[in-house]
Structure 1
């Protein structure tokens, strides 16, 4: 059994090793030997096999060496010599194997209309040969033509099978490409999310640290005689607290970037963590009026995280650009199926120190991308009713988001 399987495998690999033409030429040679043996050895009540019969059989078989390169031309040429062979009333079974291979190849190559035309041509050729022989050997010719029609049907079935396999293979390849593109898109989105988180984290922490360090330096250098050591100590301890919080969040973000298991601590911060942002901003010198409506209901995790980051970035910008002492109003409330987040600052405090303008950053772009990421919108610009200061308003849908 093993030897049979091995032989079949070698036979299947033959076209790849020898090339289509050499394999088809070998097949044609083998068919020539089979057809010649049938013509010589099988009894026949018609014309005896002679040199002309063998030459015609050779002409029937020879075109099969090009059967895969020109299937239709090969079959037509083979059938033409076969018709002459049958017309001379030689052994009618001898050329069947060769014509069957040609018919199968042409039908398998398609298209279907050509197979139907070939079937009709075979019937016409059989009738012509039958009439030319004076109506003799009709039953044998009809049997041969019937088998040839069956071969055409098998070739058509094989063509349909190969076409279905090709379509299935194409669908599988398309699905694989789609999966790869989806995976690449998810990787890009995850990288963008991590970049936003890092930006928000570093911008917020560095800004708070910078403001509080400036306050400590002012107390120690500008008015050394009035230095309030407890205030300086509290400011430095606040800087240490901000550094610890930033380090913990940065570690968690980087573990996600490496694909490690997240550390204990639950999901990213959301609405419940906004008071911590307010406390840090107040420690940096801002005066914050925070209002978080108690009737928010269930807020999806993605929406809560987006709201948290919007408030974080808005407070960071207020502390950075308006400086210590600025008044900021934070409001989070539900408006139907929308979570509305508003952060308004009143600009620099009158008489306060001038702050150098920062270059263009990515804060506003990041806030807008976070709002769009959950299907919401964000507006940022000067206060709507005039006056100094800046206003940020985000509207985040509470439905259609995955918690």
Structure 2
């Protein structure tokens, strides 16, 4: 099995071998062209290939192999080789075209500004080499062709470099978008877990509080009034069954996601279940009084659930902590809002209500988080006329 270090070595060796192969191939091709005399003849008799010519060809091979690592230096070296080749009047002129490779590489790697500079240097070198090689017998238009070829090489390199830069930027953008989607997915998972935890807290808190009250009543009446103790036990069973149903429905949302990922998550709860909630409060010995202001209407699912859970938590605090006999509930249906108010006639100060009003426990903070998540307003605290009050305003934007 190949280790990461071995794979890295292979990746580095592959382009090095490729560039070396290209360098050797260019050198061999230029030397072969010189031996067979490719291109127009110089004005004087060409100089035969000697050790200096072979040395220049070796320099060409090494420079072409290193063109990507040192593009500027390679451009200078290849232009010097072209000048030397023409000055010594070696046969064949393929060597004079090799600087175009460096010009193209420089523009592709460094951008159009460097490409423009490289094309200018290459064009100037080519014109000088032509004048040195041909003198007064310079063929017509050959200098213009040399300048055009240098400009073309620089422009082609700049276009390729720009295309590569666009591809790199596009890939980076796609990678960032993929990372953003992953982060959003993780954040949604965390938010969903918090929401489900909040649902379980509300359901279990209300259920256990009601069971605790009914169990206390049953214990108290077991000896003196067995019939009423039996009613308390029946109420406990009903409350437990309802609590288990709600918990199963909430947890069922988790299990259903694997088979139906696009199915809307709708945990139980809503103002249409308010009567059952008030029955459990009555069974706990507290008389709720519900007043609806305005015309009742269906609410958005998120608002409906939040309103129900806030009322449920408020009533749970009343049953557990307030030592109240009655609790007044008001629902105000306004054009763009629904206002919820709960006020009991119990003790506004004490261990239980201290927990409820934020000095301990999580009931009030949970209600506040629900309201803030919907851009609502929430207040809770002792009422000036006695008792404890919870007030929440939830916007209904799709009905405004």
Tell me the TM-score normalized by structure 2. Answer: 0.86
1:1-400 → structure 2 map (5 Å cutoff): 16=11, 18-43=13-38, 44-46=40-42, 47-51=46-50, 52-91=52-91, 93-96=93-96, 98-132=98-132, 133-138=134-139, 139-220=141-222, 224=223, 227-260=224-257, 268-293=268-293, 295-323=295-323, 326-348=325-347, 360-383=360-383, 385-387=384-386, 389-399=387-397
- Higher mean C-alpha deviation, range 311-320 or range 247-256: 247-256
Residue 266 of structure 1 deviates from its aligned partner by: 7.0
Report the alpha carbon displacement of residue 176 of structure 1 after superposing the two structures with TM.
Answer: 0.4
How many residue pairs get matched? 376
Whole-angstrom CA distance in 1 between matches of 2:309 and 2:147:
81
- Distance in 2 of aligned mates of 1:357 and 1:80: 89
Partner of 2:3: none
Separation (CA, whole Å) in 1 of partners of 2:353 and 2:112: 80
Is this contact kept in 2: 1:103–1:148, CA < 8 A? yes
Contact 1:207 1:320 in 2 (8 A): yes
Cα distance in 2 for residues equivalent to 1:318 and 1:113: 77
Distance 2:13 2:19 in 1: 10
SS of equivalent to 2:392? strand
Deviation at 1:356, TM superposition (A): 11
Q: Is the 8 A contact 1:281 1:315 kept in 2?
A: yes
TM-aligned CA distance change 1:97 to 1:137, over 3 Å: same
Question: Could you tell me how far 1:377 is from its partner in structure 2?
Answer: 1.6
Instruction: Say if 1:296 and 1:42 are closer, same or farther in 2 by CA, change over 3 A.
Output: farther
State the SS of the aligned residue for 1:80: helix
Q: 1:181 to 1:189 in 2, by over 3 A?
A: same
Contact 2:112 2:154 in 1 (8 A): no
Query: Which whole-Å CA distance do the structure 2 matches of 1:107 and 1:213 have between them?
Result: 85
Cα 1:146–1:254 change in 2 (3 A) is: same
Cα shift at 1:15: 8.1
Q: Deviations over 1:60-118 (max 9, x none)?
A: 33222221211111111111111221233434532155323222211111122111111
Q: Distance in 1 between matches of 2:332 and 2:313?
A: 18
Give the superposition deviation at 1:125: 1.8
Contact 1:374 1:401 in 2 (8 A): no
CA drift of 1:267 comes to: 5.8
Deviation of the 1:401 alpha carbon:
8.8
Aligned to 1:9: none
Asked whether the equivalents of residues 103 and 119 of structure 2 are also in contact (C-alpha less than 8 Å), the reply is no
CA separation of 1:122/1:92 partners in 2, compared to 1, >3 Å: closer, same or farther? farther
Bigger drift between 50-59 and 79-88 goes to 50-59
Mapped to 1, the partners of 2:17 and 2:385 lie a distance apart of 88
Q: Whole-Å Cα distance in 2 between the matches of residues 266 and 75 of structure 1?
A: 69
**Structure 1 residue 275 displacement after superposition:** 1.6
Q: Secondary structure at the match of 1:95?
A: helix
Secondary structure (helix, strand or coil) at the match of 1:134 reads helix
Q: CA RMSD in A?
A: 2.8
- SS of the counterpart of 2:281? helix
- Aligned 8 A contact 2:354 2:360 in 1: no
Provide the secondary structure at the position in 1 that maps to 2:94: coil
Q: Quote the offset at 1:348 in angstroms.
A: 4.7
Gaps of 5+ in 1: 1-13
Partners of 2:111 and 2:92 lie apart in 1 by 29
Alpha carbons 1:342, 1:394 under 8 Å: kept: yes
Q: Is the 8 A contact 1:108 1:157 kept in 2?
A: yes
